[in-house]
Chain A
Amino acid sequence: MLEATNELGNAVLSTGGTLTDPNAAAALAVGLAALGAGYAERGIGSAAVGAMAEDEDLFVNGLILTVLPETIVILALVVVFIV
């Protein structure tokens, strides 16, 4: 996954703009935030599935906790509107 991030950075750099270009930097910020959210959800998701396997009533709680890191991406999207 880290290699992918590198390539992303290279792609941004090679298409003319630099990371000092506000739009490119904002795009990278959102991308990285999404990456972080995905990484966090991976652990929470498998724990949630484990808990649900024991007790089906935990479905709602598990779902909410699993998508909670998505808030990071939403907050990161704010950056796009600011620049």
Chain B
Amino acid sequence: MSAVGSSNPEYVVARVRARRGSLYGDEEYRKLTRMSPAEIARFMEESSYGTEINALGSRHGGVDLIEYALNRNLAKQFEGILDWSEGTLYDLIARYLRKFDAWNVKTIIRGVYTDTDQSAVEVDLIRAGEFDDRRIRRLLEADSIDAVIEVLEDTIYGDPLREAYAEYEETSVLVPLENAVDRAFYERLLSGLGRDEPTRQYEAFLKAEVDFRNAINALRLARSGADIDPAAYFIEGGDLFTRGSLARLARNMDELVEYIADSQYADELGPALRELEEADSLIAFEHATDAALLAYGDRLGTIHPVSVTPVISYILAKEREVENIRAIARGKEAGLPVDQIESELVIT
């Protein structure tokens, strides 16, 4: 609880908890997996997605409508949380939500690179981060990567992008630029966190996320056998890997799996790792990391009831819901059978 000053955390946590109660549960997912895309849209219209479905219904249809409505609702909810919170709480939440800024920057850079139509890029943006509408408009209007970097000059992405731009000009592949954006985000994520107990738990959660991201990247590299330096994809800040150990482990798949199985995440990821060894399927591993993070977030939200952790727990659950609905809609569109779609969902 906030000892002095405004009682802002109490307000934000109460609102977030109320919203959490209206997220879809097992029952709704079971219904959704048996519906056609049009029925899913109808079902969403009657729940918390009503406004978005109605606003976009005249312009889009089918799975696109569901997808855009999901993105817009996600953005609205997260913007709301940032609007309500103040001070330290704002800082802690914004850290995490900046990943949508990073996503938007990468989407826009890709759009410029492939010369995609402005409106086609715009619908793919998720306006949940810190960038305001004006900056996003200017980013969309930028017609070269140089211009995009110029708009971002005064943000945390400015300098790293400027440095990566030289490399981009030489090789004309986007990887250095995208890595620069990701690294700027992750560096900011873990720097200068407070030392009180809830913040420490939040930090432990963020570190787990970085570890999982590194593990997935390393597994992908190890499996593809491509001749790419794994250290170039390394994200600082996690507990599990160092730059050197990741580079060494990414060369040998068996060693890497064994290393993760011996780590502190063994309990959560154990079954998925065994499946990885048997079936050679990374999807199960990625789902297991998602489920582990979600369960971690749930647990986190109950230890310190009035702190940043319930908010983060809600943000994770909401993201998961959006991804689940999207998976159902896309799966239905592709005509996948129900049990296969259900295996794609991450529900705790």
Q: Which residues of A contact B (CB under 8 A)?
A: 42-51, 53-55, 58
Contact assessment for A54 and B10 in the assembled complex, using a CB-CB cutoff below 8 Å: no
Residues of A within 8 A of B17 (CB): 51
- Report how far A55 CA is from B48 CA in the complex, Å: 12
Q: Which of B1-56 contact A (CB under 8 A)?
A: 1-2, 6-8, 10-15, 17-19
B306–A50 contact, CB under 8 A? Answer: no
Chain B interface bracket (under 10, 10 to 19, 20 to 34, 35 or more): 10 to 19
Establish whether residues A54 and B8, one from each chain, have CB atoms under 8 Å apart when the complex forms.
Answer: no
Q: B266 → chain A, closest Cβ, in Å?
A: 38
Contact across chains for A50 and B10 when beta carbons are under 8 A apart: yes
Q: Are A43 and B8 in contact (CB under 8 A)?
A: no
Q: In the complex, what distance in Å separates the CA atom of A66 from the CA atom of B321?
A: 33
Give, as a whole number of angstroms, the nearest-CB distance from A43 to chain B: 5
User: Is the pair B18, A54 in contact by a Cβ cutoff of 8 Å?
Assistant: yes
Q: Which residues of B contact A (CB under 8 A)?
A: 1-2, 6-8, 10-15, 17-19, 84, 306
Q: Say whether chain A's binding surface is mostly helix, strand, loop, or mixed.
A: helix
A-B contacts, 5 of them at CB < 8 A, read A49-B11, A50-B10, A50-B15, A51-B17, A58-B18
Tell me the interface secondary structure of chain B in the complex. helix
B residues within 8 A CB of A46?
Answer: 6-8, 10-11, 14
The list of the 9 closest CB pairs from A to B, nearest first, reads A50-B14, A54-B18, A47-B14, A50-B11, A47-B10, A46-B7, A50-B15, A46-B11, A51-B14
| Contact between chains at B14 and A48 (CB < 8 Å) | yes
A48 / chain B contacts, CB cutoff of 8 Å: 14
Docked Cα-Cα span, A33 to B19, in Å, equals 35
How far is A68 from B18 in the complex, measured between Cα atoms in Å? Answer: 21
User: Could you say which residues of chain B place their CB within 8 Å of the CB of A53?
Assistant: 15
Give B53 Cβ to nearest chain A Cβ, in Å. 20
Instruction: Name the B residues within 8 Å of A42 (CB-CB).
Output: 7
Asked if A51 and B8 sit within 8 Å, CB to CB, the answer is no
Say whether, besides A43-B1, A43-B306, A54 and B19 are in contact (CB < 8 Å).
yes
Cα–Cα, bound, A48→B18 (Å):
11
Cβ of A54: which chain B residues have Cβ within 8 Å of it? 14-15, 18-19
Are A51 and B18 closer than 8 Å at their CB atoms? yes
CB distance from B87 to the nearest CB of A (A): 14
| Sample of 6 further A-B pairs with CB below 8 A, known A43-B10, A50-B14, A50-B84 | A42-B7, A46-B7, A47-B14, A50-B18, A51-B18, A54-B14
Contact partners of B306 in chain A: CB under 8 A: 43, 47
Closest to A62 in B: B14
Enumerate chain A residues within 8 angstroms of B10, measured Cβ to Cβ: 43-44, 46-47, 50
A46→B18 CA distance, assembly (Å): 14
- Min distance, Cβ A60 to any Cβ of chain B, angstroms: 15
Which residue of B is nearest A41, CB measured?
B7
